[in-house]
Chains A and B, each alone.
Chain A
Amino acid sequence: MLTALALLVGALLALGVAALALARSAAGAKTVHGACVGAGAVLVLGGLAGLSGGATALDLPFGPPWGAMRLALDPLAAWFLLPLGIVAGCASLFALGGIHGPVPARLLLPWPIFLAGMLLTVLAADGFTLLLGFEAMSLASWALVAHDTAEAENRRAARIYLGFAGFGGLTLVLALGLSAGGAGDVAFAALREAPPDGWRAAAVFALVLAGAGSKAGLFPLHVWLPLAHPAAPSHVSAAMSGAMTKVALYVLVRFAFDLMGAAQPLWLGMPLIALGAASAVIGALRAALEEDAKTLLACSTVENVGLIAIGLGLALAFRGADLPALAALATAAALLHALNHAVFKTLLFLAAGEVLHGALSRRLDRLGGLIHRMPWTAWAALAGAGAAAALPPLSGFASEWLLLQALLAAWRVGDLAFQIGVAATAALAALAAALAAAAMVRFWGLVFLGRPRSPRAAGAEESGGAARIALLVPAGLTVLLGLLPGVMLDLAEPALRQLSGVAAPRAGFLAVGAADGGARYWPLAAALLLAAAVGAALWAVRRRAPPGIARGPTWDCGFIAAPAHLPFGDPATQPSAAGFAQPLRRMLGDSLLAAREHVTMPPPGSTAPARLDAGFRDPALAALEGPLPRWRDAVAAQAERLRDLSIRQCLGLSFGAVVLMLALLAWLEAR
């Protein structure tokens, strides 16, 4: 299987090159995306095979000048192939459905390379290959982010993104070098032999957190994510949010759980938990405040990555505290949520893409009422939004339930500071989940419900065919994963065993749950109960109530009907994106996101309308674009004085260097 996957990497790369020629015609572009759909299917199959088979390794016949590149497929890698495959397949299918003519090569070419980079990262079994895949993935996705050069905002996003990509790579290289130690062998097998300890372990972990964490979108290095993800075409956004963040998390897991050895102290998990909690809250809050549909979804990605990070951090801590069963529980929560998030976020981004395609806008304030024009998209998106809002019985609830169980059990670690921290984290995770629900209601409600806010939204059209299937597949998976998390955990068992060292807690196909005696969640039973209750309500009401409904104008406490020149009603009388966000902006935004509201009243007698300006600013972005460049410019201004020297003064520098060197030599001789 590994050989087949390795060949798939090569095939995808070749496809990328071939895309140069294929981009000339619609058929060629369709071929490329069709092949990528196939690649996604192969990835899923490979993941399943890898989970059922043992670990395999493969040396490639080429590599860097100092050795061969190595690939390996173990259960951990295999598990991450599943989200990768599903996302790749669905996104490619969506892109396939959107082709109506020749596609520019620069949009077509990076896509297979992007997929190949992610695959290579997951398969890598030495540091160089890992970095190669990681950076290839970053570069290819950057090319896709940078495709739209017309918008200054997009250019800024691409710039920041590429900077972060390089930064992440450098920190990962440092981490590899630090853990490799004197020998300098960065093959995973060698790293496992001599795991770092003491300050080295802390440094490696910090570097990995910075490198992989920035890619995954962990606070405070998440700032690029809500900028870059929306800038790409929608199917790319889906893959970036759904798959690429997972690959970054995979790297984090690979380091923290595998390469750094099993004997790590308890506190190693704490920074991950803290950063995860911060990401979850900031991400969810921003998602509840953003006014661009895709930015909103990207922020929701930050939130979900934060939740996964909490799970991983808990697992690390449990491992350190020698509580393997709980470690397995927390790992299960993290891995399951990674998969679930990949699926529902792909669905949501593809739906946003469909909306963008149909209504030509991503801004919530220009959409509305699309459920009438785009019912398929609307209902599919509702499934995704429900999962993102952690509503039972959809997939998001199952994994967040597991995560909460792990958090609620974390007090068993006997460290008071840890206990208090985890209690606070539980509250923050709940806050994040509830904020995400608010964000999703706002997203779905503003986009699909109400009245159209622009003529274009009123005339939106839904595309059918492949794009519709690309929405329905993840929607179905969202429901299915929500109903059968037990099956997925059984599937993940080898990976969980690899990470936590013991058999994962099993509660059968129909339930998931903590260790014996703990709580259980029976999603299928809960769904049946819910269905029965709804059915009963329906039956009871139907029996007593007269059939049919009457239609009338909107009542709205006697609001006046829309004027004739605004056939869809005055959009201003509907809740706007900023207005819907107002309660949360005032409650939490003030303190967390430096939110502001400012009312400009016209002078007395003026007929100008009063204006309300509301907004917020991510503190991390403010730091990135505030003090850091200031320091840099200050230092650069100082350094520039060196440049302004005349030739004579430059010679003086050389002369100074000579004299200094000689003095140094004299001093050394004298010693």
Chain B
Amino acid sequence: MSFGQLGYDVAHLLGGGVLLLSFVLLYQRRIGAVINAFAMQGALLALAAAWAAHAQGVAGLYLTAMLTMAAKGVLIPLALHATVRRLDLHRTVETALGIGPSLVAGVGLVALAILVALPATEGARALAREDLALALSVVLLGMLMMITRRNAISQVIGLLSLENGLILAAIGVAGMPLVVELSTAALVLMIAVVAAVFAFQIRERFDTLDTASLEEHRGERR
């Protein structure tokens, strides 16, 4: 252990908080609440990054923390709210899988993540192991959200939350080189996705809009 029990506990707590918020994301029914929960997750992640910067003594991670806070805690949620208003999207979350079953599936995924990550990382530090399991859970829950929600906004939030999991994993691995660059690059990707929602004017869920219009366009269907 390179740092004390407190450091471990705080990091663990923050990571657990991020995971908990993933569940909250799954649980919410209204889009506004989903966005808010996502903002919370971003903020928590920023805190975790800052704590990691402090604990590992890597100054660059403060930058990550600040960027995360600014982008995910504030800007992206604002932009999403604006998009919902501007494009007059459905305010309620339409689910492909009910809330309850989603949560059950989420618990199963967390179990899977732990089952996979813990044995796989024998030999690594405990924090890294825990962190990896948490991060993997967040990633999987993000994907779950993407495939069980029908609104474009919810799905984008799923992707964003997935990316939160990545950052969580990256900051958990002490001494990861290029961590700032990578997390920034990932952030850029996410911002681009959000921008694309706006630019492409993805009004409806991409359930109905996608292939059907492609089929009509190209006459591929028989």
Is A666 an interface residue, CB under 8 A from the partner?
yes
Please determine whether B206 and A669 come into contact, CB atoms closer than 8 angstroms: no
Majority-rule SS of A interface residues: helix
Please determine whether B147 and A655 come into contact, CB atoms closer than 8 angstroms: yes
- Number of A interface residues, CB 8 Å? 19
Is A551 an interface residue, CB under 8 A from the partner?
no
Please determine whether A665 and B116 come into contact, CB atoms closer than 8 angstroms: yes
Please determine whether B112 and A662 come into contact, CB atoms closer than 8 angstroms: yes
A348 to B96, CA, bound (A): 71
Is A360 an interface residue, CB under 8 A from the partner?
no
Q: Which segment of A139-147, A403-411, A470-478, A646-654 sits at the interface?
A: A646-654
Is B92 an interface residue, CB under 8 A from the partner?
no
Q: How far is the CB of B189 from chain A (nearest CB, A)?
A: 16
A645 to B115, CA, bound (A): 31
- Give the chain B neighbours of A649 by CB distance below 8 A: 147
Within the complex, which residue of A644, A648, A665, A670 is in contact with B150, where a contact is CB–CB below 8 Å?
A648
Q: How far is the CB of B23 from chain A (nearest CB, A)?
A: 17
Please determine whether B147 and A666 come into contact, CB atoms closer than 8 angstroms: no
Is A530 an interface residue, CB under 8 A from the partner?
no
Please determine whether A645 and B112 come into contact, CB atoms closer than 8 angstroms: no
- Give the chain A neighbours of B173 by CB distance below 8 A: none
- Give the chain B neighbours of A651 by CB distance below 8 A: 143, 146-147
Is A533 an interface residue, CB under 8 A from the partner?
no
Query: 1/0 per residue B193-222: CB within 8 Å of A?
Result: 000000000000111101100010000010
A646 to B150, CA, bound (A): 11
Within the complex, which residue of B120, B140, B207, B221 is in contact with A648, where a contact is CB–CB below 8 Å?
B207
Is B119 an interface residue, CB under 8 A from the partner?
yes
Q: How far is the CB of A24 from chain B (nearest CB, A)?
A: 41
Question: Given the interface contacts A659-B109, A662-B112, A666-B115, does A646 sit within 8 Å of B143 by beta carbon?
Answer: no
Within the complex, which residue of B144, B150, B207, B211 is in contact with A655, where a contact is CB–CB below 8 Å?
B144
Is A658 an interface residue, CB under 8 A from the partner?
yes
In chain A between 628 and 671, which residues have their CB closer than 8 angstroms to a CB of chain B?
Answer: 643-649, 651-652, 654-655, 658-659, 662-663, 665-666, 669-670
A670 to B114, CA, bound (A): 13
Please determine whether A648 and B116 come into contact, CB atoms closer than 8 angstroms: no
Q: How far is the CB of A664 from chain B (nearest CB, A)?
A: 10
Q: How far is the CB of A371 from chain B (nearest CB, A)?
A: 55
- Give the chain A neighbours of B109 by CB distance below 8 A: 659
Is B113 an interface residue, CB under 8 A from the partner?
yes
A649 to B143, CA, bound (A): 12
A655 to B119, CA, bound (A): 22
- Give the chain B neighbours of A646 by CB distance below 8 A: 206-208, 210-211
Query: 1/0 per residue B89-106: CB within 8 Å of A?
Result: 000000010000000000
Within the complex, which residue of B116, B146, B221 is in contact with A662, where a contact is CB–CB below 8 Å?
B116
Please determine whether B112 and A659 come into contact, CB atoms closer than 8 angstroms: yes
Of all chain B residues, the one with the shortest Cβ separation from A636 is B222
- Give the chain A neighbours of B150 by CB distance below 8 A: 648
- Give the chain B neighbours of A643 by CB distance below 8 A: 211
Question: Given the interface contacts A655-B143, A665-B120, A669-B119, does A648 sit within 8 Å of B113 by beta carbon?
Answer: no
Q: How far is the CB of B210 from chain A (nearest CB, A)?
A: 5
Of all chain B residues, the one with the shortest Cβ separation from A645 is B211
In chain A between 192 and 220, which residues have their CB closer than 8 angstroms to a CB of chain B?
Answer: none
Please determine whether B147 and A648 come into contact, CB atoms closer than 8 angstroms: yes
Please determine whether A652 and B210 come into contact, CB atoms closer than 8 angstroms: no
Is B155 an interface residue, CB under 8 A from the partner?
yes
Please determine whether B147 and A652 come into contact, CB atoms closer than 8 angstroms: yes
A646 to B211, CA, bound (A): 6
Of all chain A residues, the one with the shortest Cβ separation from B205 is A648
Q: How far is the CB of A611 from chain B (nearest CB, A)?
A: 37
A643 to B215, CA, bound (A): 10
Q: How far is the CB of B197 from chain A (nearest CB, A)?
A: 13
User: Which of B116, B205, B208 has its CB near the most chain A CB atoms (within 10 A)?
Assistant: B116
- Give the chain A neighbours of B146 by CB distance below 8 A: 648, 651, 655
User: Which of A644, A647, A652 has its CB near the most chain B CB atoms (within 10 A)?
Assistant: A647
A242 to B106, CA, bound (A): 70
Of all chain A residues, the one with the shortest Cβ separation from B114 is A666
Please determine whether A666 and B112 come into contact, CB atoms closer than 8 angstroms: yes
- Give the chain B neighbours of A665 by CB distance below 8 A: 116, 120
Within the complex, which residue of B116, B208, B210 is in contact with A666, where a contact is CB–CB below 8 Å?
B116
Please determine whether B112 and A663 come into contact, CB atoms closer than 8 angstroms: yes
Please determine whether B113 and A658 come into contact, CB atoms closer than 8 angstroms: no
A649 to B206, CA, bound (A): 10
Please determine whether A647 and B206 come into contact, CB atoms closer than 8 angstroms: yes
Please determine whether B143 and A648 come into contact, CB atoms closer than 8 angstroms: no
- Give the chain B neighbours of A662 by CB distance below 8 A: 112-113, 116
Please determine whether A669 and B147 come into contact, CB atoms closer than 8 angstroms: no
Within the complex, which residue of A648, A654, A659 is in contact with B96, where a contact is CB–CB below 8 Å?
A648
Q: How far is the CB of B98 from chain A (nearest CB, A)?
A: 15
Question: Given the interface contacts A655-B143, A659-B109, does A648 sit within 8 Å of B115 by beta carbon?
Answer: no
Of all chain A residues, the one with the shortest Cβ separation from B158 is A651
Q: How far is the CB of B115 from chain A (nearest CB, A)?
A: 5
Please determine whether B140 and A659 come into contact, CB atoms closer than 8 angstroms: yes
A521 to B150, CA, bound (A): 86
Of all chain B residues, the one with the shortest Cβ separation from A661 is B116
Q: How far is the CB of B113 from chain A (nearest CB, A)?
A: 7
Please determine whether A669 and B211 come into contact, CB atoms closer than 8 angstroms: no
- Give the chain B neighbours of A654 by CB distance below 8 A: 143
In chain B between 108 and 147, which residues have their CB closer than 8 angstroms to a CB of chain A?
Answer: 109, 112-113, 115-116, 119-120, 140, 143-144, 146-147
- Give the chain B neighbours of A670 by CB distance below 8 A: 119
User: Which of B150, B208, B210 has its CB near the most chain A CB atoms (within 10 A)?
Assistant: B210
A654 to B112, CA, bound (A): 16
Within the complex, which residue of B116, B208, B221 is in contact with A669, where a contact is CB–CB below 8 Å?
B116
A430 to B125, CA, bound (A): 84
Q: How far is the CB of A46 from chain B (nearest CB, A)?
A: 54
Q: How far is the CB of A334 from chain B (nearest CB, A)?
A: 49
Of all chain B residues, the one with the shortest Cβ separation from A633 is B222
A501 to B120, CA, bound (A): 63
A651 to B143, CA, bound (A): 8
Q: How far is the CB of B94 from chain A (nearest CB, A)?
A: 11
- Give the chain A neighbours of B211 by CB distance below 8 A: 643-647
Query: 1/0 per residue B136-175: CB within 8 Å of A?
Result: 0000100110110010000100000000000000000000
A341 to B123, CA, bound (A): 76
A215 to B75, CA, bound (A): 68
A188 to B85, CA, bound (A): 74
A644 to B207, CA, bound (A): 11
- Give the chain A neighbours of B221 by CB distance below 8 A: 644
- Give the chain A neighbours of B144 by CB distance below 8 A: 655
Of all chain B residues, the one with the shortest Cβ separation from A640 is B222
A645 to B96, CA, bound (A): 14
Q: How far is the CB of A148 from chain B (nearest CB, A)?
A: 30
- Give the chain B neighbours of A644 by CB distance below 8 A: 211, 215, 221
A670 to B112, CA, bound (A): 13
- Give the chain B neighbours of A655 by CB distance below 8 A: 143-144, 146-147
- Give the chain A neighbours of B208 by CB distance below 8 A: 646
Of all chain A residues, the one with the shortest Cβ separation from B208 is A646
**Nearest 8 interchain pairs by C-beta:** A669-B119, A652-B147, A666-B115, A647-B206, A655-B143, A647-B210, A662-B116, A646-B207
Residue numbers of A with Cβ under 8 A of B are 643-649, 651-652, 654-655, 658-659, 662-663, 665-666, 669-670
What are 19 A-B contacts with C-beta separation under 8 Å? A644-B211, A644-B221, A645-B211, A646-B206, A646-B211, A647-B207, A647-B210, A648-B147, A649-B147, A658-B143, A659-B140, A662-B113, A662-B116, A663-B112, A665-B120, A666-B115, A666-B119, A669-B116, A669-B120
- List 16 other contacts, CB 8 Å, given A648-B96, A659-B140: A643-B211, A645-B211, A646-B210, A647-B206, A647-B207, A648-B147, A648-B155, A648-B205, A649-B147, A652-B147, A655-B143, A655-B147, A659-B109, A662-B113, A663-B112, A670-B119
